[in-house]
Amino acid sequence: MSSTEHTAETHVHRDDIGSRMGMWLFLFTELILFGGMFLIYSVYRFEYPEAFHLAAKELNTIMGAFNTAVLLTSSMTMALSIVAIQRNQKILSIWLQMITIFLALFFLVNKYFEWTAKFHHGIYPGSEELLSKGSGEILFFGLYYVMTGLHGIHVIVGMVLIGVMTRMTRKDIITKDSYVRLENAGLYWHLVDIIWIFLFPLFYLIT
């Protein structure tokens, strides 16, 4: 094993640090994308504190907390899959990646039920029910749908990305000696997690 490691080190030219740095730079653009939305959110919450308070009561805190737990757990399994590949435990790493994808899917299914429940109550962008409310509440739900929706798209992208990584791990493209792709997919996934860490209290926990 040490000989393969040696050849890998001496013959393959690559820059893993540069690769991760590139991924971080991309993540900063994501930070600005969501940061802009958090800016809009904070201004409107500042302007309509009561309406936000009232509107947030419509959201299911238990469901939100449960989904937070699901996403946090998926972040852990993703991090563990990297440890597994570092220790050359290929099968374990693949399993952990698949659990991550499954948890992401579970998160989206919950989100689907949450959204459809809101739709049934007539609360969706442009609905009569919503338009009859005050501007603060309309803004709250507008931001809710846009921000959790954009986050949801990121979850889907993350699932696809991790799926590709699983395939690469299976085909030995990602190995004990070359796993920077998996690390970068992980970085993306953890960012999606961090965004939810802030979305959750700001939408579900306004008392």
Partner 1 sequence: MEKHDYYHEHSHGYGIYILVWLALMTLTAVTVAVAGMDIDRFTVATALIIASVKAYLVLTIFMHLRSETRNFTVFVIVALLFLGISFVLLFSDYSFH
Per CB under 8 A, the list member of 4, 7, 21, 153 interacting with partner 1 is 21
Q: How many residues bind partner 1 (CB under 8 A)?
A: 44
Angle in degrees, CA 178, 179, 181, rounded to 5: 120
Task: Check binding of 43 to partner 1 (CB under 8 A).
Answer: yes
CB of 174 to partner 1, least distance (A): 15
Q: What is the DSSP string of 138-188?
A: HHHHHHHHHHHHHHHHHHHHHHHHHHHHHHHHHTTSSBTTB-HHHHHHHHH
Burial 50-67 (b: 16+ CB within 10 A, else e): ebbebbbeebeeeebeeb
Binding mask 50-79 for partner 1 (x = CB under 8 A): -----------x---x--xx--xx-xx-xx
Contacts of 14-17 with CB under 8 Å at 24 or more apart are 14/178, 14/180, 16/180, 16/183
**For tokens 């429940």, what's the residue?**
117
CB of 54 to partner 1, least distance (A): 15
Q: Is 72 helix (H, G, I), strand (E, B) or coil?
A: helix
CB of 1 to partner 1, least distance (A): 13
CB of 127 to partner 1, least distance (A): 27
Residues that bind partner 1 (CB under 8 A): 9, 16-17, 20-21, 24-25, 28, 31-32, 35-36, 39, 42-43, 46, 61, 65, 68-69, 72-73, 75-76, 78-80, 83, 86, 183, 186-187, 190-191, 193-194, 197-198, 200-202, 205-207
